[in-house]
Structure 1
Amino acid sequence: MNDPVQKRRAGSAVAKNDKPAGRTNDPERTQANILRVAEAEFGEKGLAGARIDEIAEATHTSKRMIYYYFGSKEGLYLAVLEAAYRRVRDVETELNLHDLDPEEALRRLVAFTFDHHLHHESYIRLVMSENIHRAHYLAQSQRIQELNIPAIAAIRDLYERGVRSGQFRKGLDPVDIHASISALSFFNVSNRHTFGRIFKLDMQSPAYIAQRRDSVVEMVVRFVRKLPA
């Protein structure tokens, strides 16, 4: 069984009389704790370098319990990916973009994306690791595919409202807008060490972050905004 999704499902389907010793009475909390620690482990060391032994020790569980819940190391890695994507998409739905003026909605979305990436370096490292694997594991997750549908729908909605109101120029693709927002926000974290070293910048200083955040928001808005006749 090489498919991590199948392995994870198989692990969750273990008969009750085969439950690992020491299992808690709060499986949801246990799984959430494992996912939290595993995200840091996979983010820091990648899939190949991460160790289930260290995740088990840090969560005060056992390897057997982790395999019981997630089926395999690859199944746990995929579950971590799904949880990371779900977290950012869940918060996006709370931004209430539809209730805002289109340009204000776009500004809020860009600022949120910038802040999320800034404060979730493990998420950035996970995405970088999955790109090294050419999205091999992500491609096996229907959940991740589905999670991104509302994100694009939200951008399409605010963009089309902006076009109708005359604020945004016509002919842009919501996925392309999403790519631009992601790229500008992602780079600030993924390349902070190399870029900062080359140009002698303290990219983690509050002053730099505030300036860069404003720049990213302004760049995206100006890209989308309709030019005066």
Structure 2
Amino acid sequence: MTDREEIEQLASGIPATKKVTTRRKSSDGTRKIILDAALEVFSEKGYDGARVDEIALRTGLNKNVLYHHFGNKDELFKAVLEHMYQVIRERQNDLQSRDLDPVSGMRKLVMFTGRIWVQHPQFLRLLHSENLLEGRHVKQSDVIYNMYSPLTATINDLLTRGQAAGVFRDNIDPVDLYISISALTAHYISNRYTFEGIFKMSLMSPQRIKHRLEHAADMILRFLLVDPAGHDGSKGC
């Protein structure tokens, strides 16, 4: 039975307004099934190694259903990236940093960003694959671009309030700062296997991860603070 036939069978005998809702719910559910399977395959094998046939096999759907919803492999990969960026940004939106003093808010932003990489390691694998493609899908996506305006605004707010209070240095670029936060937190996760082999130690225990994120937060704050020695950046958290 095709996707369309299944929808029509489910919707038979239902009033027109409810049929539209049923179709929409069925379509949304099908898209989610496809995105979940595509996320698994793309994160395991990268863009080049992934095959639409395998994604279809994992969903239990006909391959034509995937093409109906996403058009082609490129569009499907872009949709997976947009989905994961949305998950990440929704988590970052929970930060509520504007209710905190600038130092505590910045520390919390670093810790929050680091935990995202721990909780969603498949996102890092997707980013690695996309960077090998020179970011072509991200560059095509206005959705992803627009997601990051609120994050930049949050960082700007923390910097502005910190500078007005005389605790943060002036002339800090928010984009450079976020790239540094990502580098200090994501690199640890994406390279953990080689680090563990080199240093003969486990890096993914809760205690070790907490230590690493606190280390990253301390480094960011020591860069930002006008007087690092005279201000305990861990206070108020």
TM-score tier by shorter-chain length is: 0.7 to 0.9
Question: What is the match of residue 208 of structure 2?
Answer: 208
What is the deviation of 1:210?
Answer: 1.9
State the superposition RMSD in angstroms.
Answer: 1.8
Residue by residue over 1:54-108, the C-alpha shift from the partner in whole angstroms, topping out at 9 and shown as x without a partner, is: 2222222221111110000111000001111111112212211111111111111
Q: How many residues align?
A: 212
Cα distance in 2 for partners of 1:22, 1:75 equals 25
TM-score (norm 1): 0.86
Is it true that 1:169 corresponds to 2:169 in the alignment?
Answer: yes
TM-score (norm 2): 0.84
Question: What is the match of residue 67 of structure 2?
Answer: 67
Contact 1:86 1:147 (C-alpha < 8 Å) held by counterparts:
yes
Contact 1:106 1:158 (C-alpha < 8 Å) held by counterparts:
yes
What is the deviation of 1:205?
Answer: 2.1
Q: 2:95 is paired with a residue of what secondary structure?
A: coil
Structure 1 ranges of 4+ moved more than 3 A: 18-25
What is the deviation of 1:53?
Answer: 2.1
Cα distance in 1 for partners of 2:184, 2:6 equals 46
Cα distance in 2 for partners of 1:21, 1:51 equals 26
What is the deviation of 1:36?
Answer: 1.9
Question: What is the match of residue 221 of structure 1?
Answer: 221
Structure 2 gaps, min length 5:
11-22, 231-237
Structure 1 gaps, min length 5:
1-17
What is the deviation of 1:19?
Answer: 6.6
Contact 1:20 1:65 (C-alpha < 8 Å) held by counterparts:
no
Q: Which amino acid aligns with 1:61?
A: L
**Which is worse superposed, 146-155 or 29-38?**
29-38
Cα distance in 1 for partners of 2:92, 2:170 equals 24
Q: 1:137 is paired with a residue of what secondary structure?
A: helix
Contact 1:102 1:161 (C-alpha < 8 Å) held by counterparts:
yes
Cα distance in 2 for partners of 1:39, 1:160 equals 38
What is the deviation of 1:207?
Answer: 2.6
**Which is worse superposed, 203-212 or 106-115?**
203-212
Residue by residue over 1:2-31, the C-alpha shift from the partner in whole angstroms, topping out at 9 and shown as x without a partner, is: xxxxxxxxxxxxxxxx97554584211221
Cα distance in 2 for partners of 1:218, 1:34 equals 41
Is it true that 1:99 corresponds to 2:86 in the alignment?
Answer: no
Determine which structure has more spread, i.e. the larger CA radius of gyration. Answer: 2
What is the deviation of 1:41?
Answer: 1.1
Cα distance in 1 for partners of 2:60, 2:73 equals 17
Question: What is the match of residue 182 of structure 2?
Answer: 182
Is it true that 1:148 corresponds to 2:148 in the alignment?
Answer: yes
Cα distance in 2 for partners of 1:22, 1:216 equals 51
